[in-house]
Amino acid sequence: MKKKRYKRDEALYNAIQENEWFFFFETLPELIHAVASNSDLWLNKGRPTKKLSDILTCLAIWQRFPNLSVRSAKGFLEFLKHKGIIDIEIPCFKTLCNYQANERVRYYFNRLIEVSSKPLNIIETCFATDMNGVRTNNFTSWFSIRTGKKIRKRDHLASHITTGVKSNIATAVDVCVKKGKDNEIMRQHVDRTSTNFKIKEWSGDSMYWAKANCKKIVEAGGKPYFKPKKSWCGKSRGCMAWKRMNLEFKEKPKKTGKCYHKRSNVESTNHSKKARLGSCVKSKLDTAREQEEHMKWVNYNALVLNRALFEWDIEPNFYT
């Protein structure tokens, strides 16, 4: 049987695509100002730092064009300033790289993701979490040493993302050089998402099938849908929410299957982000890699907000 195809509103799709750049350059200053208007990274030692809002604006525009080198990005920023599209102080390319590798900027990247997703809290109540690999331009030597073969194995980042299943907006993102702590990161995402959204459902694959995860979601007011493993023996083991979820999967497979497969939206989100903003990070330092990927997710949220403006008539307000 042929896969069912859904008709697309071509006029709406064209309007969204044509307005993309206008929306980006009009909305970015408001988003940056809502997060870093009164922030400063200077520690009263040495030369005063650049204005943080200007730095974040430069990094956001740079990562919107993933194929630009940092020197070309600086030239492009100067061009935008010359044309009056942006009005910021542009640092030298080395300063821009140093800020991207500064761990103290990570807090503001996370805040940008949370604040940019907040305008869609009126339509999002169901969420899903997944972990995805992100390519780098580095190749590890440990794989060749361990196997005794001269094989170049590319390094990857572990990108943990939580999205709303209706608009595919990213509500929480964690990018790590090392894999692990998947369940711990997911519970942190629940805490961060619950501050701005009302949670009704939360889904994920069997990697998140854990009692602590179910308990955290129930405490946040939601209902968990994690695919049970065949090893479940039918007992609660101290967590009734975990047992109820497993029994529902066993007794009502069609109903739970529909709720569980909402997590497929995370796969769509990852594909969309990689197709539009690149599937590889180019930085060499670990911290710079992680924060480069974080900034790409901020730009992805801007694309979703542009779509929400036309499809659901939601104008972003980052100050409420």
Domain boundaries, the chain: 10-118+287-311, 120-265
**Of 146-160, 167-181, 301-315, where does mean pLDDT reach its minimum?**
146-160
pLDDT at 255: 86
H-state helical runs in 10-169: 10-18, 20-36, 52-64, 70-82, 93-100, 106-117, 142-147
Q: At what angle do helices 52-64 and 70-82 cross, to 10 degrees?
A: 110
If pLDDT is split at 50, 70 and 90, which confidence band does 109 have? very high
**Alpha carbons 34 and 57: distance in angstroms, whole number:** 12
Contact between 214 and 144 under an 8 Å Cβ cutoff? The reply is: no
The topology (CATH level 3) of 120-265 is Nucleotidyltransferase; domain 5 (3.30.420)
* pLDDT(44) > 60: no
Give me the mean pLDDT over the 21-47 stretch: 81
For 205, residues 6+ apart whose C-beta sits below 8 A from its C-beta are 130, 226, 227, 263
The beta strand positions in 177-266, using DSSP E, are 201-204, 223-226
* pLDDT(144) > 90: no
Name the nearest CA neighbour of 109 among 280, 298, 264, 267.
298
160-192 per-position pLDDT tens digit? 999 999 999 999 999 988 777 889 999 999 999
Sole residue written with tokens 């990005």: 73
Mean pLDDT of the chain: 87
* pLDDT(6) > 60: yes
Amino acid letter, 102: N
Contact between 170 and 114 under an 8 Å Cβ cutoff? The reply is: no
206-261 per-position pLDDT tens digit? 888 888 899 999 999 999 998 887 776 666 667 788 888 888 888 888 888 888 88
